[in-house]
Amino acid sequence: MSGPRHNDMRTPMRRVRGLGAAHSGTADFWHMRVTSAAGVLLTIALVVIVISLLGRSHAAVVQILGSPIVAVIMLLFIVNSIYHMWIGMQEIILDYVHEDKLKFLSLMANTFFCFAVGLASCFAILKLSFGV
């Protein structure tokens, strides 16, 4: 029996490329789980930072937010959250957008939006941290 097996659920293209359930999709699954776990810890740290800023003067807030450890925590939070959002929206688009052109445009828009938000957020934190 040289043809495809009857219980093989992969498409012909997936059989040619050697991709199937065991070779695709698991990386995004694990990236989502790892970024979720990291997001919990980073969110707790960010909430603690924000609570510590309550009632302080503008100069004190700028000084605290400009400190290296706080800047690193905020940058990690942003990068982690943006990556988690990018993967999540990509999965939603791939699952629910069926027209190829619209799917391609949606994936491009998702990537552009995540990159723009991440870049603007990181720029703001770095500007605050370096006092430029």
The helix (H) or strand (E) run that includes residue 113 is helix 100-130
In angstroms, rounded to a whole number, what is the distance separating the alpha carbons of residues 23 and 104? 23
Give residue 82's Cα distance to chain centre. Answer: 4
The structural domains of the chain, ordered by start, are 27-130 (1.20.1300.10)
What would the pLDDT profile of 3-13 be if each residue is shown by its tens digit?
555 666 666 66
With beta carbons less than 8 A apart as the criterion, state whether 10 and 23 touch. no
Per residue in 110-127, pLDDT tens?
Answer: 999 999 999 999 999 999
Give residue-wise pLDDT tens across range 14-39: 555 555 555 556 888 899 999 999 99
* Whole-number Å distance between alpha carbons of 92 and 109: 13
Structure tokens at 62: 């700028």
Q: What is the pLDDT of residues 43-84, one digit of tens each?
A: 999 999 999 999 999 999 999 998 999 999 999 999 999 999
User: Which SS3 state, helix, strand or coil, does residue 21 take?
Assistant: coil
> What 3-state DSSP class applies to 131?
coil
